[in-house]
Amino acid sequence: MQNKYQNTNVKELLQKAPIDININIKGWVRTKRSSKGGFSFIELNDGSNINNIQIIADKKLDNYQDEIEHLRAGCCISVQGLSVKSQGKNQNIEIHAHKIQILGTVQDDYPISKGRISLETLRTMPHLRPRTNTIGAVMRLRSHLSHAIHNFFNQRDFCYLNTPIITASDCEGAGEMFGVTTNDKNDFFKQPAQLTVSGQLEAEAFALSLGKVYTFGPTFRAENSHTSRHLSEFWMVEPEVAFNNIDDNMQLAEDFLKSIIKSALTHCQDDMNFFDMRIEKGIINKLENICQSDFIRLSYTDAIDILTKSNKKFEYPLNWGCDLKSEHERYLCEEYFNAPVILTNYPATIKPFYMYCNDDGKTVRGMDVLVPGIGEIIGGSERETRVDIITKRMEQSGIDLHAYQWYLDLRRHGSATHAGFGLGFERLVQFVSGMSNIRDVIPYPRTPGHL
RNA sequence: UCCUCUGUAGCUCAGUGGUAGAGUAGGUGGCUGUUAACCACUUGGUCGUAGGUUCGAAUCCUACCGGAGGAGCCA
């Protein structure tokens, strides 16, 4: 048994720290500290976690002068060796190499060295940037968050629904859409087709039959927005629940965010520690506090009240009926409460047709969840169920009723109270990691003018 | 789309009218249970592009291109 080399990875090796075992490990060199006289220290990373394993390469190895001495950051190697307790201070375990095989060297123009590279520069090489600590950590976190979302809904008996990516309906006229056609411009679908901006309307149909559903998929907006919080292609999570009212909806959103964040704190400790140290100091503490405190619930009317009574000078004027701007949301969330805030009961005039009209005739049961540093992370509502009212509101919004007969059918046949929300997945990854630019939390960012 | 900032070595940056610099990465040599290793030497740049002002422009002016931040819009 001792002669056989066991395959393993860096994460497992560091966790179990087995001593005097022959192991085989493959990965990419992060750094090398070497000498011609003695031996070299190689730090190896294989992506299984953020930490490296230290390899000791003695000069007696056959290929020491020819190959090992020339290793640099980025080279891919396979190591067979003995795991031993480390004499050094920064690690418990290390590997004394019996054999090091070079799987892939790097050319002179390899751009990633062990020195600092800005995130901005890394964006110019999306295929190589996952080899850095930061992007690697972000992508592992992103993967975990994705699993956590599915687990959350699965545990609550939600049905995972795949809504179409190619659609015929322009949901709520929310933003510009990308057209879909063939290269020769034939009207392939015999009618105009677009990439989806939301799966909400389709999800409503399935909520009113399966009860609890959620979508989690790509979403497209052709808005020409150039900010650190917008992408042309992003991923959205959209639960939709029959018999839920606006209060249930708020509770679901709060439970959801807390559950996902807790999961990340529990299962992504190494990466979270990295974010806390290098990306946003104190983020772990901030997230823990959010999990423990209640989200503030505030009506639009009360929000306007707080804002007008504050002595803060805002660029945009405030009066009941106007939409809240970023500066207002930021003040409420980051200064006044310094906690997540759920805003509700907005004026009907500034919200889409599908939100339930309150008895006052002026406000609708919409909600926005605001978090410090990001702003709006969730938007949702209790849906309008009364066919006469929703028809009127669609007409007022200039929506072609013809194309939405199926949607009105949902109100004509077996209608029920229901509610849901949408969460921008990349904004969640941003919030949990502390990364300031949304382009750095998706593998291949798509933004205006840039693929 | 609007406003502001920015573009100098592979990377991170300094250099406000007078011969293009540092650190780091890469190379060579040395040394060491090292860990942001260390010591010495060294390769490397049409200063985003195109015009203009000037005896002389990385530096001043104009236009264009790229990047970032903010706003609007949203998730």
- Which nt is closest to the CA of A315, judged by C1'? B71
Strand B closer than 7 A to residue A326 Cβ: yes
Q: How far apart are CA A241 and CA A421, in angstroms?
A: 9
Residue A402 pLDDT class (50, 70, 90 cuts): confident
Look up the protein residue whose alpha carbon has the minimum distance to the C1' of B38. A33
| A1 or A425, greater pLDDT | A425
Give residue numbers, 220 to 249 of A, with CB < 7 Å from strand B. Answer: 221, 223-232, 234, 236
* pLDDT tens-digit map of A210-244: 999 999 999 999 888 888 999 999 999 999 999 99
Least confident among A49-53, A219-223, A257-261, A425-429: A219-223
- Domain at A129-440: CATH code: 3.30.930.10
| pLDDT for A1 | 46
CB-based contacts of A89, cutoff 8 Å, min separation 6: none
Q: What share of chain A is helix, strand, coil (3-state, %, to 5)?
A: 35, 25, 40
Task: Encode A155-190: b = buried (16+ Cβ within 10 Å), e = exposed.
Answer: eeebeebebeeebebbbbeeeebeebeeeeeeeeee
Q: How far apart are CA A426 and CA A406, in angstroms?
A: 31
CB-based contacts of A381, cutoff 8 Å, min separation 6: A246, A249, A351, A354, A355, A356, A364, A365, A366, A367, A419, A420, A421
Strand B closer than 7 A to residue A294 Cβ: no
In angstroms, the CA of A311 and the C1' of B30 are apart by 67
| pLDDT for A418 | 97
Give residue numbers, 156 to 175 of A, with CB < 7 Å from strand B. Answer: 174-175
CB-based contacts of A306, cutoff 8 Å, min separation 6: A298, A332, A336
| pLDDT for A175 | 63
| pLDDT for A369 | 95
- Which nt is closest to the CA of A328, judged by C1'? B71
- Which nt is closest to the CA of A326, judged by C1'? B71
What is the rounded (10 degree) CA torsion for A246, A250, A256, A262?
-170
Look up the protein residue whose alpha carbon has the minimum distance to the C1' of B70. A227
Contact assessment for residue A428 and residue A256, using Cβ atoms and an 8 Å cutoff:
no
- Which nt is closest to the CA of A351, judged by C1'? B74
* pLDDT tens-digit map of A152-202: 999 999 999 999 999 886 555 556 788 888 877 777 888 888 899 999 999
| pLDDT for A65 | 87
CATH superfamily ID and name for A6-104? Nucleic acid-binding proteins (2.40.50.140)
* pLDDT tens-digit map of A366-394: 999 999 888 889 999 999 999 999 999 99
State the ipTM, two decimals: 0.89
Q: What is the percent of chain A with per-residue pLDDT over 70, rounded to a whole number?
A: 97
| pLDDT for A77 | 95
In angstroms, the CA of A33 and the C1' of B31 are apart by 12
Give residue numbers, 130 to 159 of A, with CB < 7 Å from strand B. Answer: none
Residue A209 pLDDT greater than 60, yes or no: yes
Q: Which strand B bases fall within 7 angstroms of a protein CB?
A: 1-2, 10-13, 23-37, 66-75
Strand B closer than 7 A to residue A85 Cβ: no
Residue A400 pLDDT greater than 90, yes or no: no
Cα distances from A321 to residues A205, A317, A327, A333, A447, in angstroms, run 31, 11, 16, 20, 32
* pLDDT tens-digit map of A68-127: 989 999 999 999 999 999 988 889 999 999 999 999 999 888 999 888 899 999 999 999
* pLDDT tens-digit map of A305-318: 999 988 888 888 88
Residue A19 pLDDT greater than 50, yes or no: yes
- Which nt is closest to the CA of A422, judged by C1'? B75
Give residue numbers, 426 to 445 of A, with CB < 7 Å from strand B. Answer: 426-427, 436-439
Contact assessment for residue A142 and residue A441, using Cβ atoms and an 8 Å cutoff:
yes
Strand B closer than 7 A to residue A318 Cβ: no
Contact assessment for residue A126 and residue A111, using Cβ atoms and an 8 Å cutoff:
no
Residue A36 pLDDT greater than 70, yes or no: no
In angstroms, the CA of A27 and the C1' of B52 are apart by 55
Q: What is the percent of chain A with per-residue pLDDT over 90, rounded to a whole number?
A: 75
Strand B closer than 7 A to residue A88 Cβ: yes
Cα distances from A47 to residues A43, A264, A387, in angstroms, run 13, 18, 53
Q: Which two tokens stand for residue A165?
A: 């990516």
Residue A2 pLDDT greater than 60, yes or no: no
Strand B closer than 7 A to residue A105 Cβ: no
Domain ranges of chain A: 6-104, 129-440
- Which nt is closest to the CA of A377, judged by C1'? B75
Compute the mean pLDDT over every residue in chain A, rounded to the nearest whole number.
Answer: 92
Whole-angstrom distance between the N-terminal and C-terminal Cα of chain A?
51
**DSSP at A75:** -
Q: How far apart are CA A158 and CA A246, in angstroms?
A: 18
In angstroms, the CA of A114 and the C1' of B22 are apart by 19
Cα distances from A420 to residues A216, A348, A414, in angstroms, run 13, 18, 18
Strand B closer than 7 A to residue A259 Cβ: no
Strand B closer than 7 A to residue A378 Cβ: yes
